[in-house]
């Protein structure tokens, strides 16, 4: 499912009005804020120093100095979420507070970024909720095994070391369905050939002269047997013609441009995925640039602590501006990434639902035409049965005695029997 990029925009939530004044009195120049996860941290509005530990009234010493303390990174756009400027107005001389204990540099991970990293995981440039920290997401179609819910991640390619996008699997399913449809049409075509060949052989056999000289009622029945073959041949020819027009042809012609349409669809989703990968690369590049700017700012700050000079102060001002600009760039890149991922998400939902609809339509179409095949087959059986009914009727009328009488009447040579010779 879609989530925003793990590189969340820096920014914190201020405490409820009056809460801090009721519980803690901070030294001059210090303010407290809440991170998005509800953890309180403190900002020196003069030096822009950030710390998790509540500062004490003694300059340079926090309430609980020690290795557990960590600094927060400068915020993006030069402002905290409350609207307090992240950097004070430039002055000729700056009073810098030096962090005690094992304070980290300005480029260290903020609680927002750290917890964001824990709450999300980016795989192949797509950001997902982390399975260990995020609750299970509600499916888009919870009562169905829908395409739109189960093909967001990539799958390892069993034939190589790469991966196959979930959408690509759906596309392969559609193209395979088209191929199966084509093969079914070819199968019916082979069935038609058998019917045509069978009809041809029946018609030829019906013209055979074997036993043509049979006489009497049996001869009539035999002639009807041969005629029934010609009738049956006609039935099978009609069956093959209907198979072609009502089964084979519709199967073959269904969605003639399907492959072309699927190729367009594939290119569309692939382009969105490429754009998402490009946006993610920009985020990582901007994040790296911000870290470098923060490191440069920290180094210049340390130099100022060693020796105060106008030149160092100017360098710090310049480094701070670059750091703020890097933060702006990171936020812009994150925005563009999230927009690209949102667009990809929306198109994935729309397209997968359409593929799902097309698959249901394909299966229903094939089912209907196979039902038509069985119906035609039943009709053919009935017609075939009708061709042999006259034969049955004549066979019931066959009378050997009658046939003998007719034959004797026609072929008799005399009815005077021989007698003994007299001497």
Confidence class for position 81, pLDDT limits 50, 70, 90: very low
Percent above pLDDT 90 for the chain: 52
Most confident segment among 51-65, 157-171, 307-321, 392-406: 392-406
**Can you say how many angstroms the Cα of residue 277 is from the centroid of all Cα atoms in its chain?**
17
> Rounded mean pLDDT of 245-269?
91
How many angstroms separate the first and last alpha carbons of the chain? 126
Q: How confident is the model at residue 80 (pLDDT cuts 50, 70, 90)?
A: very low
More confident residue, 17 or 249: 249
Dihedrals phi, psi of 109, to nearest 5 degrees: -70, 135
**329 has a pLDDT exceeding 90:** yes
- The pLDDT tens digits of the residues spanning 203-247 come to 999 999 999 999 999 999 999 999 999 999 999 999 999 999 999
* pLDDT tens per residue, range 171-203: 999 999 999 999 999 999 999 999 999 999 999
pLDDT in tens, 102-114: 333 333 334 444 4
76 pLDDT tier (thresholds 50, 70, 90): very low
Residue 335: what pLDDT? 95
| E-assigned strand segments in 110-210 | 120-123, 126-129, 155-156, 163-164
Angstrom CA distances, 118 to 8, 38, 91, 270, stand at 12, 16, 40, 28
Q: What is the pLDDT of residue 112?
A: 44
Grouping H, G, I as helix, E, B as strand and the rest as coil, residue 35 is: coil
pLDDT level of residue 131 (50, 70, 90 thresholds): confident
Is the pLDDT at 59 greater than 60? The verdict is no
Of all residues in the chain, what percent carry a pLDDT higher than 70? 74
> In this model, does residue 303 exceed pLDDT 80?
no
CA–CA dist 264, 398 (Å, integer): 72
Q: What is the mean pLDDT of residues 356-361?
A: 94
Q: In what order do the strands lie in the sheet with 30-34?
A: 30-34, 40-44, 50-51
Please report the pLDDT score of residue 298 as a whole number: 86
| Distance separating alpha carbons of residues 154 and 168, to the nearest angstrom | 9
User: Which is nearest to 303 in space by CA: 47, 107, 45, 96?
Assistant: 96
Give the pLDDT score at 108.
36
- Residue 309: what pLDDT? 58
In the predicted model, is pLDDT for residue 99 greater than 70?
no
Q: Other CB atoms closer than 10 Å to residue 390's CB: what's the count?
A: 15
Q: Are 112 and 80 in contact (CB under 8 A)?
A: no
pLDDT range class, residue 66, cuts 50, 70, 90 = very low
How many helices (H) does the chain have, and how many strands (E)? 9, 7
Tell me the domains of the chain and their CATH numbers: 168-404 (1.20.1270.60)
pLDDT score of 375:
97
Q: Residue 381: what pLDDT?
A: 94
**pTM passes above 0.85:** no
Instruction: Look over the chain and give the mean of its residue pLDDT values, rounded to a whole number.
Output: 79
pLDDT band at 307 (very low <50, low <70, confident <90, very high): low
pLDDT in the model for residue 289 = 94
What is the mean pLDDT of the segment spanning 70-92? 35
pLDDT of residue 248: 95
CA nearest to 262, candidates 141, 177, 364, 367: 177
Q: What pLDDT score does 354 carry?
A: 93
- pLDDT tier, 341 (very low <50, low <70, confident <90, very high otherwise): very high
State the pLDDT confidence band at 24, using cuts at 50, 70 and 90: low
Among 137-146, 361-370, 412-421, top mean pLDDT goes to: 361-370
Lowest average pLDDT, out of 10-19, 37-46, 130-139, 176-185, goes to 10-19
């Amino acid at each position: 499912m879609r989530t925003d990029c793990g590189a969340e925009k820096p920014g914190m939530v201020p405490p409820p009005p009056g809460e801090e004044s009721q519980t803690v009195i901070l030294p001059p120049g210090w303010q407290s804020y809440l991170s998005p996860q509800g953890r309180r941290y403190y900002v020196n509005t003069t030096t822009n120093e950030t710390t998790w530990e509540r500062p004490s009234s003694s300059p340079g010493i926090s309430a609980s100095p020690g290795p557990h303390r960590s600094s927060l990174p400068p915020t993006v756009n030069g402002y905290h979420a409350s609207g307090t400027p992240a950097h004070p107005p430039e002055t000729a001389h700056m009073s810098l507070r030096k962090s005690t204990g094992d304070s980290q540099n300005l480029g260290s991970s903020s609680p927002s970024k750290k917890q964001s990293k824990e709450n999300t995981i980016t795989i192949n440039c797509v950001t997902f909720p982390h399975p260990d920290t995020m609750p299970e997401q509600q499916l888009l179609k919870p009562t169905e095994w829908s395409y739109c819910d189960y093909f967001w991640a990539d799958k390892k390619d069993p034939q190589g070391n790469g991966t196959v996008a979930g959408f690509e699997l759906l596309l392969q399913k559609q193209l395979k369905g088209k191929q199966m449809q084509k093969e079914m049409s070819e199968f019916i075509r082979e069935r038609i050939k058998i019917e045509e060949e069978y009809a041809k052989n029946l018609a030829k056999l019906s013209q055979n002269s074997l036993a043509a000289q049979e006489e009497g009622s049996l001869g009539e029945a035999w002639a009807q047997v041969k005629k029934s073959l010609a009738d049956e041949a006609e039935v099978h020819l009609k069956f093959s013609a209907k198979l072609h027009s009502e089964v084979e042809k519709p199967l073959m012609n269904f969605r003639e441009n399907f492959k072309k349409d699927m190729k367009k669809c594939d290119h569309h989703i692939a382009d969105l995925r490429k754009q998402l990968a490009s946006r993610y690369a920009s985020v990582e590049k901007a994040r790296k640039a911000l870290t470098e700017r923060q490191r440069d700012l920290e180094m210049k700050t340390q130099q100022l602590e060693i020796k105060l000079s106008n030149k160092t102060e100017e360098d710090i001002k310049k480094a701070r501006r670059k750091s703020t600009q890097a933060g702006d760039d990171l936020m812009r890149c994150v925005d563009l990434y999230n927009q690209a991922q949102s667009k990809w998400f929306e198109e994935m939902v729309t397209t997968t639902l359409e593929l799902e609809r097309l698959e249901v339509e394909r299966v229903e179409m094939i089912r209907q035409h196979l039902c038509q095949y069985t119906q035609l087959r039943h009709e053919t059986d009935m017609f075939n049965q009708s061709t042999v009914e006259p034969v049955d009727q004549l066979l019931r009328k066959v009378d050997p005695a009658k046939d003998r009488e007719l034959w004797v009447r026609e072929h008799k040579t005399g009815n005077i029997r021989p007698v003994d010779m007299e001497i």
